[in-house]
Amino acid sequence: MESTLGAELRQFVLFRLGTEEYGLPIERVQSIIRYETPTPVPHSPEMVEGVINLRGQVIPVIDLAQRLLGAPIEHSAASRIVVAEADSGLIGLAVGSAHEVATFSTEEIMPTPSAALTVETAEAFQGVANRGDRLVILLDPEKALPRVSYGPSTAIEEAQSDV
């Protein structure tokens, strides 16, 4: 893909939640792993599936469909955990599948129609881009990813107040 003068190119990791396709800026994605059932955390919000141990680090796993769409993801053999950098640490995002990296110019990214979103989720999206015959919803990691902390009050509690 060629860029026009003045247009910046941005890369996004594309993944599915149900029938919709989303993108997260590649600079925020550390890795993508096969879905493994997290260890539940008592008294955690509904969107928190639990925690996993990834290379010696305990990472909370958030059901991104539950967080953004209000309904839990249906796990399958294609399900993945996108390990992303949130503002305060690593977080696992349970998604239906993660399948490619796409490059969009800033000119290709259109504003998300505000009428299509709820007040709670409007800030989580930075725009929409065409990818062939489909639309990709691009997430704003500052707003879409919950804050995490690893102290005694675990940020799993903070995750529910972010949307």
- Write the pLDDT tens digit of every residue in 84-103: 998 778 999 999 999 899 99
**93: closest CA among 42, 19, 32, 134?**
32
Q: What is the pLDDT, as a whole number, of residue 136? A: 93
**147: closest CA among 138, 155, 139?**
155
What average pLDDT does range 124-150 have in this prediction? 80
What average pLDDT does range 6-19 have in this prediction? 90
Half-sphere exposure of 18 (CA within 13 A, CB side): 13
Pairing of strands 20-25, 57-63: unpaired
Q: What is the pLDDT, as a whole number, of residue 91? A: 93
Which H/E stretch holds residue 126? strand 125-131
- Write the pLDDT tens digit of every residue in 98-133: 989 999 998 999 987 766 666 656 677 888 999 888
Report the Cα–Cα distance between both ends of the chain, in Å, rounded. Answer: 34
Give the confidence band of 161 by pLDDT, cuts at 50, 70, 90.
very low
Question: Which domains, from first to last, does the chain contain?
Answer: 9-144 (2.40.50.180)
What average pLDDT does range 126-147 have in this prediction? 84
For the cut 90, the answer to whether the pLDDT of residue 23 exceeds it is yes
As to burial, measured by CB atoms within 10 angstroms (0-12 exposed, 13-18 middle, 19+ buried), residue 21 is: buried
Residue 125, both tokens: 């999206």
- Write the pLDDT tens digit of every residue in 41-81: 998 888 899 999 999 999 999 999 988 888 899 999 999 99
